[in-house]
Amino acid sequence: MNATQQEFKATGAGASQCDKILARLKETPGEWVPMPELYRVSGAMAVHSRIADLRGLGFTIGHRNERREGSRATHSFYRLEYEEAP
């Protein structure tokens, strides 16, 4: 059975993926953090879904994509722009 972020947190098993992503974004507020780094600190395969969860809790998190010249790959970055008390 897969638990939601809220159910996981309620078990006391540790910090959720959302908690880990938010903690990393809070380390450098206003600075862009690459998506692979958020994956590494949280273990979240779907970082964008965890970001959506955090936005749903009232956090304003910016997103931008960057494509480097000569590359077809798109790189995603996120930053904490405004924190509302949940």
Where in the chain are the domains?
14-83
pLDDT at 31: 94
Question: Quick check: helix, strand or coil at residue 20?
Answer: helix
pTM to 2 decimals? 0.76
* Run of H or E including 6: helix 5-10
Options 3.40.50, 1.25.40, 1.10.10, 1.10.443; CATH of 14-83? 1.10.10
pLDDT of residue 10: 58
- Which residues, in sequence order, are CB contacts of 39 under 8 Å at separation 6+? 45, 47
19-75 confidence digits (pLDDT tens):
999 999 999 988 999 999 999 999 998 999 999 999 999 999 999 999 888 888 899
pLDDT range class, residue 4, cuts 50, 70, 90: low
Strands (DSSP E) along the chain, which ranges?
Answer: 33-34, 59-67, 74-83
Length of the chain: 86
**Residue 48: per-residue pLDDT:** 94
